[in-house]
Amino acid sequence: MGLAEDAFDRLRRIAFEGEHIEKMAAIGVQKKLSPGVIKTLMRLARSDGISMGEMARSIGCDPSYITALVDDLDQRGLARREPAPYDRRVKIIVLSDAGQALAEEISSVLSVPPASFAALSRSELRQLRDLLDKVITADRGISGEAVVDPAAVQAAVP
């Protein structure tokens, strides 16, 4: 195994085996949110007020499923549909205050680093961040738009 493989292997282990995954699980179970609902909520947290169709493309599922997902969100009082001013066929999904709060709660849980990050000093953390940034920056030039089968994505989580 080469150096890059080694480094990437470590990275994957931290990302996929971390405690944040368990915390996510806890929230999902506790609030009885389906995976689809959580994905939708997280997408809205990133930018609220996108159309049904945009959401379908964004989380990689069929538009008809977005209908079910937003129905669910609506019944829970977490989001509502609003007509798009520019096209009466289009509906915009908008988070309610409660939805916004929940979305923030979920995404903040995901962004808390594992406690084991405390093993690194400030300068080591800076080094780590900068190295990873370099990878991300390099990636921008390489990859284009990605269309991924969601079923395979979940399978890829060991």
Please give the residue ranges that form the binding site for DNA (CB under 7 A).
34-36, 51-54, 56, 60-68, 70-71, 81, 84, 87-91, 150-151, 154
Neighbouring-strand partners of residue 87: 84
Smallest distance from the beta carbon of 92 to DNA, in angstroms? 7
Site for a second copy in 75-104 (CB under 8 A): none
Judged by beta carbon, residue 63 or residue 113, the one nearer DNA is 63
Smallest distance from the beta carbon of 102 to a second copy, in angstroms? 13
Residues 111, 35, 105, 43, CA torsion sign: positive
Identify whether the C-beta of residue 73 lies closer than 8 Å to the C-beta of residue 36. no
Q: Token digits for 147?
A: 């269309």
Quick note: the x/- pattern for a second copy over 99-138, rule CB under 8 A, is -----------xxxxxxxxxxx-x-xxxxxx-xxxxxxxx
Q: Which does 77 bind (CB under 5 to 8 A by kind): a second copy, DNA, none?
A: none
Judged by beta carbon, residue 14 or residue 56, the one nearer DNA is 56
Q: Which does 31 bind (CB under 5 to 8 A by kind): DNA, a second copy, none?
A: none
Query: What's the CA gap between 35 and 153, in Å, rounded?
Result: 13
Query: What's the CA gap between 10 and 59, in Å, rounded?
Result: 27
Q: Which does 144 bind (CB under 5 to 8 A by kind): DNA, a second copy, none?
A: none
Q: Token digits for 125?
A: 């953390």
